[in-house]
Structures are given as structure tokens and as C-alpha cells.
Structure 1
């Protein structure tokens, strides 16, 4: 709670410090409700990349346009049927949860949240800038900021040049950001899937029901009778074929070995342990960061592609004139309905 309050008050705190210390730095803008830093140095780097890779960036933009159309369709499909599930009480619903450090995210996880958000926003805005620069549209500034506790990124593009560029170019610029986040999300999930296999899997004994099993509490079981145990399902399958009174050999991740005689419960063999799946990667900082990168980027991709007037998706569909405005209204309405349903459900 205190962390959330600190983040919300951060612009005011920074504004106070700037005034007291009389700090004047080019590109720094500070008010009681928002604080932003913008720079031309990153723009200079992006200009060089745009010159060398203009063809690749253009092709990227074309793919981004079609992908953004797909994401907009997916957004309406998913949230429309999700609302129907809330309304008519069928199927599994997905509640909308706002991720916010100190409220829905604990302090430890907040570190991964900030790193992931910062990285993802910078890459997102860089994609917009590169697409604009590849079409000879001036990008004046590249920056990040915080507004009433909400972190955001931005690029300042020459509006007149943007309007002269034509609808096709504007659509490529608007769609490049969400598409980039989608690529990062998919890449991250593939890495998670691959890296997960490298973790030491087993079952963690969280409680014991028999005195003979007391030494196992807190241990990670990896083998029973030389059979590999990677999850709870493996353990239950093993126990199905055991007999009451049978002595089993239990090995742990730390190299310890225990011989325990099985008890009896409800006419079946019974070891007497309560256990959960365990993987060392759950506690690995790199693995946690990968998970957060995936979560943040898939959300940024869908929400930025969604038509909400000021989002990339909102600007994208507005290129279709009156139909774009209608789609924006529908996009906001379907999200609000899901938020209300999530609160009541």
C-alpha cells in the first residue's frame, strides 16, 4: 500500500525537489501530477538504424498492419464472449486485474515489474520512431514519464509530416508498437518453455501426516524406487501400484536417501505427505524476469492494439473515418462491461 502511494506521489516529490534545488535540465519537464524526461540522443541512434535498415523496417510495418487487425478482432472476440460468460454464468471467465505495485503486486515482484515495463515501453516507442524515420518523418524527442502513478513512454513525431505521409504509412507507424510487444511476448514464452525444462523438477513436501515421514518435510523428492518424480502426477501414479507395508526408497534433490514403510488409508497404500510441484526456476531471478516480460508485453500488445481512442489501435482504426470512431466506442464499452463484471463476479 505504501509503495503504491509513493509511486502516485512520485511526480509531486520530484517536482518539489526540482523547485527546491532549482534544477534546470534540457528535456526534463516536471509538474505536481507528472514528470517526464525526453532526449534526442536516442533519436540520433534510431536515425542511423532507420537509414541502414529502411527496407526491413518497411516490411516489418506491413506485417504489423495485418497483425494489428488480427489483434483488434481477437480483442473483441475474447472480451465479448468473456462478458457473455459473466452474464450467463457458463464456462471459465477471465477477470480483469489491474497490475499495480504495492496493491496487486508485492514489493519483491515489483522490481521485475518495473524492469519489464521500462524495457517494454522503450522498445515499443522505438518501433514507432523507427517506422516514422524510415519514411523520412522527423522524430523530435524520445522520452519516458510518470503521470499520477502511471508509467508511460512517448515519441514526438512531426504532426504535419505525419498527416502528409498518407494513411498507409500512418497505419504502419501506429501498428509497429503493439506488433513489437507481441513479438517480444511470443519470444519470451518460447524461452520460458525451453528454459523450464532445465530446472530441477520434483515435488516439495509441505506437510507430513505420519511420524515416519517427518524428516521429509521441506525436502524436494526427485526419485522414489529409482523412478524419476518430476511432479505430483508422477507421485500419484507411482502410489497407485504400491502395496500397504511396502518399503520405498526416497531420494531428495540434496542427495539424501530415506527408506519408509507405506501405511494404509481407506484400504490403499499411504505415504503420508502433502506435496506440491517444485521447479528451481520458480526461484531464479532470470526466469522470473522472463515471466514478467511475457506478461507485460502480451498485455501491452493487446491493450495498445485495442481501439480506445488514444491508444495505437484507436488511432489505427480512426484512419477508417466514421467506422473508426464507432469501433473506438465499442472498444471502450466492451472493456468497461468486463471491468464491471469482474468487480461484481
Structure 2
């Protein structure tokens, strides 16, 4: 799906939200939307239901779930520690380095910032926007479901629940009876921690599934092929006739059976400052064979191609395109790649949600947990310092990104 098509879909969604908002401004329209269970505000659609999900009644007396929910308190504190380690310990050094370089007249610092913005259409492009939104939807539902299950197990009344969309970002919520919950610190801690716990569970499942797929696919005859995603016009590969979709099978006398083998060959034989001639053989999905002679002059360090595949940042790995080689051509496993992309985003979003929600930032679960276990004045001081530091680090990171 092209970038323009995806952005057009997001524009249609936003336009639909605006239409519902205008309908909601009339008394008859508001009554109709309320009758079908919709609550509308500017660029926001909520489907809200009163009471608790009947399905949750089945978990109320589950002993194993009760034990799991109790472990969530420990998981929440571990996530809080990860927040301070991952953001502050790394971020403080980053900010100091940033300021030093600014005084030296340079812009930015070397290395990646500790907090990087995810901006659909800018830092996230193409089909990854769709996968990201799907992952966010699953993640926020899992988070709120955790709160709901914990409340049901501890016999705390659920006033309402629902889901919706803000602009094009999915959202979900559960409304717990705060008066009942605050009567018991133990129940409050369990319910507040359950959202972080469920995000960590989704993260673990997603991450383990990625590792499982990466390890099992070779035994199923599936190869991570070196498939060209893009060739830059005017550069050696394009001038030699290489186009997107080509599966590279040979370079000179070396057999290229995977993207990993191509990278190994490149690292061993490509010399950025030397003239190089490469005889590249490959095949397109329809079976069309290609033999291209690529001349790389000494003034170029690249031949101008980008490979298709899936980036898995949590293990610093780039997975090649998943293919099944055939006698003529190859079969591309698009569905499996899409599934892996969703798993990658699920792992990233859920570990991020868990750590951010565990952080003591007033509006987060971690902030509420801190307010329960510490005296109010001490809790306020810690949260104010945390928020100030987080805003400072995020601002420097965002400035560096720009």
C-alpha cells in the first residue's frame, strides 16, 4: 500500500470524525448518537457501555489469575526502575553531551537520543503506519483489560468501559469505582499495577513469537532472501538494470542464499574507495532471470540499492524478505511478514506503555501507586522532579531529532 493511499485513509477517518462531531451539535443528532451508544467530541469517537463485561464474571474466582494479578505489583516497580534507568541514567549523559556540543558550536550529539518520537507519516511511513495503529489498539485494550480483570477479582465495581478513536489513534478505557478501590491499599495497588502487567505479558508473548518464527522458518524451507526494495536512479545498480523485486542469487562466483550472506559478502569484498565490478545474478517473482554487470567507481561508496525486509530493533536485527525459492522465481510470504511487523510493533508499544505507565508522572498508574505507598509531600516532590527531568530530556531528544 502506497504512502499516499495510507495518508488518504487517515484523512477519510478524520473527516468522518468531523462529520459526526457536527451531527452531535444538533439536539436530534446528539440523541440519535447517544441511543446507539456513541459519545462524540472533537475528532473523538467513544463507544461507552455502563456496568461490567459479563465475560469478566468467569475470572472472578480464578486462583491463578489472582496470583498473576498480585505479581503485577512487583512488575510495576521493576518497570518503574527501568524507566529511571532507561530514560534518566542514559538521558542525563545525553543532555550533558548535547549541551557541551552546543557550546562547541555543533548541532546535536552523536548516538541515538534516549527518547525518540513516533510520528506517523514522518518517522513511521508506508504500511508500518497501519501495523502501528493495530498494535496500539491491541495494547491499549490489553492495558485496560488488565485493570478490569483486577477490579473484578477484587470485587470492585466497574462503572463503565469502552473503546474509541482519537483522530486515527485507537483508545480504550475502564472506569473503576474509586471510592470502593481507595478503601484498600492492597486492592488499589493490584488494580493500578494490572495494566502494566498485561502490557508486559503482551510484550513477552510478541517477542517470544518473533524469536520462534525466526528460528523455525529455516526448517520449513523459508529463506530470508536478499530482495531489492528500491534502486536509486542514476546510481550503478539502477544503471545496470536492477529493479525492485529482484532476488539476488549470485554475486561474481559467490552464491547468495540469504540477505545475511549478501551482507557478509559486502563486508568482505566491498571497498568504498576502490573501483569494483560486480556480476549480479538474480530472479524476479515471475521467473524472469537477470544478469547485471554493476560498475562502482572509486568516488562512490554504494551501488544504490535498499533491501526489503523487517527491522527488529529490540534485537538489533534486520530480517530479509521471507520467500520460498522455486525452480522459476520465488514466492513472497507477505502475510507472514505482515504478522511479524505487527509483532514487532506490539513488542515496542507494549514495553513502552508498561515503562511509561509505571513512571511516577501524576497522570500515570505509577504516579498513583507512588501516592498510595508514600506520604503525599514526598510523592509530590518525586513526581515533580521526574516530570521536570522527563520534559527536559524529551525536549533535547526531540530537538536533536529535528
The corresponding residue for 2:342 is 289
From 177, 181, 189, the counterpart of 1:158? 177
Give secondary structure in 1 for the equivalent of 2:92: helix
**Contact residue 3 and residue 107 of structure 1 kept, 8 A:** no
Q: Decide whether the 8 Å contact of 1:116 with 1:296 is kept in 2.
A: yes
Corresponding residue for residue 228 of structure 1: 257
Instruction: Determine the C-alpha separation between the residues in 1 that align with 2:291 and 2:226.
Output: 18
Between the two proteins, the alignment pairs up a number of residues equal to 336
User: Could you tell me how far apart the structure 2 residues matched to 1:107 and 1:213 are?
Assistant: 26
Q: What 5-or-longer segments of structure 1 have no aligned partner?
A: 267-271
Of 226, 231, 240 in structure 2, the residue corresponding to residue 202 of structure 1 is: 226
- SS class of match (1:182): helix
Relative distance call for 1:151 and 1:247 in structure 2 (3 A) is closer
Match of 1:127 among 135, 146, 154: 146
Contact 1:128–1:173 (8 Å) recurs in 2? yes
Tell me the secondary structure at the aligned position of residue 280 of structure 1: strand
With 288-297 and 223-232 compared, the bigger mean Cα shift is at: 223-232
Whether 2:139 is the aligned partner of 1:85: answer no
Instruction: Quote the Cα distance in structure 2 between the aligned partners of 1:162 and 1:212.
Output: 65
1:139 and 2:158 aligned = yes
Structure 1 pair 157–201 and aligned structure 2 pair: CA distance change class (3 A): same
Q: For the Cα contact (< 8 Å) 2:135–2:349, is it kept in 1?
A: yes
1:100, CA displacement in angstroms?
Answer: 4.3
After TM superposition, give the deviation of residue 72 of structure 1 in Å: 0.8
Conserved 8 A contact 1:185-1:298: yes
Change in CA separation of 1:324 and 1:145 when aligned onto 2, cut-off 3 Å: farther
CA displacement 1:262-305 (0-9 Å, x = unmatched): 97977xxxxx9444444225963222222222222122111111
2:383 maps to: 328
User: Are 1:182 and 2:200 counterparts?
Assistant: yes
Structure 2: 5+ residue stretches without partners = 1-6, 99-108, 218-222, 309-319, 323-332
Contact 1:46 1:126 in 2 (8 A): no
Query: Aligned partners of 2:295, 2:46: CA distance in 1, in Å?
Result: 65
User: 1:59 and 1:43, CA in 2 relative to 1: closer, same or farther beyond 3 A?
Assistant: same
Give the corresponding residue for 1:269: none
Give 1:57 deviation, angstroms: 2.0
Q: Return closer, same or farther for 1:339/1:30 CA change in 2, 3 Å cut-off.
A: same
User: Among residues 88, 98, 112, which one is paired with 2:131 in the alignment?
Assistant: 112
SS of the residue aligned with 2:60? helix
**Residue of structure 2 equivalent to 1:49:** 59
Q: Please report the TM-score for the alignment, with normalisation by the length of structure 2.
A: 0.69
Q: Give, in angstroms, the shift of residue 131 of structure 1.
A: 0.7
For the 8 Å contact 1:229–1:235, the answer to whether it is kept is no
Question: Are 1:245 and 1:261, in contact at CA under 8 Å, matched by a contact in 2?
Answer: no
Q: Distance in 2 between matches of 1:212 and 1:107?
A: 22
Structure 2 CA distance for partners of 1:130 and 1:226, relative to 1, 3 Å: same
Correspondence for 1:300: 353
**Cα distance in structure 2, aligned partners of 1:235 and 1:142:** 55
- Compared CA separation, residues 167 and 26, structure 1 to 2 (3 A): farther
1:237 deviates by 5.2
